[in-house]
Amino acid sequence: MEISELTRRVRAFAEERDWARYHSPKNLAMAVSVEAGELLELFLWTDDQSPGQPTSPERAARVADEAADVMICLLNLCDRAGIDLGQAVASKLERAALKYPAHLVRGRALKYDEYPSWDGSGHTAVPDDTEDR
């Protein structure tokens, strides 16, 4: 489903319940954080360190529900703040690709400004002696 269609449905859901009046950008930004916290809580005190699927179908369903809550709040926030989320994501990915050129940072988990050759220009070069994290 397209972001614009999801946004339309999220907006309609709130309007049908007269909840839009509570949806200031501040409240929605806080709601994004609260829902992200609920998502994190599902991983708290677990041994689940795997990069793949959560360990059970029930757990995966709960993670999906909380991920949806985060997305719903984020769509609401961007709608109310006049942000084109699709454009914002595309723009951010373009800038991230400049900070983290795949052929230079592949397999390394450093922040862009932790590479010794970082010069603040938006381009990153990976030195040979950098420890992986």
Positions that interact with Mg ion (CB under 5 A): 35, 38, 69
Q: Shortest Cβ contact with Mg ion: which residue? A: 69
CB of residue 73 to Mg ion, shortest distance in Å: 9
Nearer to Mg ion, 30 or 125 (CB): 30
Cβ 90 vs Cβ 100: under 8 Å: no
- Residue 35 or 79 with smaller CB distance to Mg ion: 35
Shortest separation between residue 35's beta carbon and Mg ion, angstroms:
5
Of 73 and 78, the one with the shorter C-beta distance to Mg ion is 73
Which positions ≥6 away from 36 have C-beta within 8 Å?
70
- How many of the other CB atoms lie within 10 Å of CB of 32? 20
Report in angstroms how near the CB of residue 75 gets to Mg ion at its nearest: 14
**Cβ neighbourhood burial of 28 (10 Å; 0-12, 13-18, 19+):** buried
Q: Shortest approach of Mg ion to residue 66 CB, angstroms?
A: 5
CA distances from 33 to 10, 21, 40, 71, 115 (A): 18, 19, 10, 11, 30
Instruction: State which residue, 66 or 100, has the beta carbon closest to Mg ion.
Output: 66
* Whole-number Cα distances in Å, 85 to 19, 101, 133: 21, 23, 31
